[in-house]
């Protein structure tokens, strides 16, 4: 039986652990100990409690756990590299990693640095934690798996199959880079604005925000063109990106975006993984990114107060 280590017991990490646990061996790894009995609330409102094996990073070396077939890194984007470094001594460098981060920061860096295979996952599964022993699976969504160099198709297929058996709708893809940037584009348009203004996604439709949102999308669309990221849904340039962003705003109108949740909890945001790659790219290509920089520095100022 393939063993799956899940490093980062946040909402996606715990959802993954609950889903995989009935079909395979899993271990959740975090900095703090977790209660053994963990509760999952399904999108239908059903509650299921099961025992999930977990260890802390500090305990890892003294536990004789099965050798992992996959190490899933489910931390926030900014914490992924440090999380991997914290277990690197006890994991063979040939072990496949699966990166579940938002943005496009951890993925290229770890693909370059880790000697073994590195898969990236992008998902629209919605989940949030309710304390140290509970996770709510708020909404189902597809998951796509692939690697940035398109050399691990068989491994991506194996993992997608396992995730499928675990109840995810998972598809192996050969365009994960496109998909990661596409999600990043939507996150860049929505997350900083809602986080800075303390509003739910749907409020962006109002006059106070809609013009700024469209101006952000304009900068983002020009950058993505230079990165060879095709506009979504077979559309053309900026209009296609704007239509996608408004569609996501509509579909998630009642959501508190992840960046707003971070700000409310006084946690460092994922601005470095979402706005960072866009600003870097704009600077490399000599494109305007004044608004993206403004959002980034407003968020930095806010974080400095935490």
In the complex, which residues of this chain contact ligand KPL (CB under 6 A)? 186-187, 190-191, 201, 248, 252, 255, 257-258
Spatial distance between the Cα atoms of 94 and 114, rounded to a whole number of angstroms = 8
Spatial distance between the Cα atoms of 6 and 3, rounded to a whole number of angstroms = 10
Sign of the torsion angle spanned by Cα atoms 214, 219, 220, 221 = positive
Return the CA Rg of the chain.
19
For helices 11-20 and 153-165, what crossing angle results, to 10°?
80
Work out how close the CB of 212 gets to ligand KPL at its nearest, in angstroms, rounded to a whole number. 16
Closest to ligand KPL by CB, 34 or 274: 274
Closest to ligand KPL by CB, 29 or 220: 220
Give 184-187 contacts, CB < 8 A, sequence gap 24+.
184/102, 184/103, 184/104, 184/273, 184/274, 184/277, 184/278, 185/217, 185/220, 185/221, 185/224, 185/229, 185/241, 185/244, 185/245, 186/244, 186/245, 186/248, 187/102, 187/103, 187/257, 187/259, 187/270, 187/274
Work out how close the CB of 197 gets to ligand KPL at its nearest, in angstroms, rounded to a whole number. 14
Closest to ligand KPL by CB, 107 or 191: 191
Quickly list DSSP for 65-97: PPPEEEEEE-S-GGGHHHHHHHHGGGS-TTSPE
Which helix (H) or strand (E) segment holds residue 145: the answer is strand 142-146
Work out how close the CB of 213 gets to ligand KPL at its nearest, in angstroms, rounded to a whole number. 12
A 10 A CB-CB count for 158 gives 18
Closest to ligand KPL by CB, 52 or 273: 273
Closest to ligand KPL by CB, 6 or 274: 274
Work out how close the CB of 12 gets to ligand KPL at its nearest, in angstroms, rounded to a whole number. 11
Which of 293, 297, 10, 302 lies closest to 127, judged by CA? 10
Cα distances (angstroms) measured from residue 38 to each of 35, 100, 135, 158: 7, 21, 8, 27
Closest to ligand KPL by CB, 126 or 134: 126
Let me know: does 299 contact 306? Beta carbons within 8 Å. no
Catalytic status, residue 76? no
Work out how close the CB of 124 gets to ligand KPL at its nearest, in angstroms, rounded to a whole number. 7
Work out how close the CB of 200 gets to ligand KPL at its nearest, in angstroms, rounded to a whole number. 9
Say which of 76, 157, 183, 301 is annotated catalytic: 183
Work out how close the CB of 202 gets to ligand KPL at its nearest, in angstroms, rounded to a whole number. 10
Size (the chain), residues: 306
Active site members = 183
């Amino acid at each position: 039986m393939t063993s799956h280590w899940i490093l980062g017991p946040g909402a996606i990490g715990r959802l993954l652990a609950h889903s995989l646990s009935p079909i395979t061996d899993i271990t959740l790894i975090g900095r703090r100990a977790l209660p053994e009995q963990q509760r999952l609330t399904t999108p239908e409102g059903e509650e299921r409690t099961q025992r999930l094996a977990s260890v802390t990073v500090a305990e890892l070396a003294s536990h004789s756990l099965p050798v992992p077939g996959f190490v899933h890194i489910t931390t926030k984007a900014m914490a992924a590299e440090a999380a991997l470094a914290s277990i690197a001594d006890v994991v063979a460098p040939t072990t496949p990693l699966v990166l579940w981060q938002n943005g496009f920061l951890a993925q290229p860096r770890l693909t370059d640095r880790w000697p073994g295979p590195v898969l990236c996952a992008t998902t629209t599964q919605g989940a949030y934690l309710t304390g140290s022993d509970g996770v709510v699976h708020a909404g189902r969504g597809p998951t796509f798996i692939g690697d940035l160099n398109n050399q691990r198709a068989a491994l991506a297929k194996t993992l997608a199959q396992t995730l499928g058996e675990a109840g995810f709708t998972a598809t192996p893809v050969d365009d994960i880079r496109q998909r990661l940037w596409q999600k990043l584009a939507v996150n860049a348009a929505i997350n900083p604005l809602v986080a800075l203004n303390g509003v739910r996604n749907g409020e962006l439709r109002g006059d106070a925000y809609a013009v700024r949102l469209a101006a952000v999308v304009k900068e983002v669309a020009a950058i993505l063109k230079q990165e060879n990221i095709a506009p979504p849904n077979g559309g053309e340039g900026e209009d296609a990106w704007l239509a996608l962003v408004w569609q996501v705003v509509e579909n998630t109108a009642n959501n508190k975006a992840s960046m707003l949740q971070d700000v409310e909890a006084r946690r460092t945001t994922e601005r470095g993984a979402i706005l960072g790659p866009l600003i870097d790219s704009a600077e490399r290509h000599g494109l305007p990114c004044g608004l993206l920089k403004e959002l980034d520095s407003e968020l930095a100022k806010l974080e400095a107060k935490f």
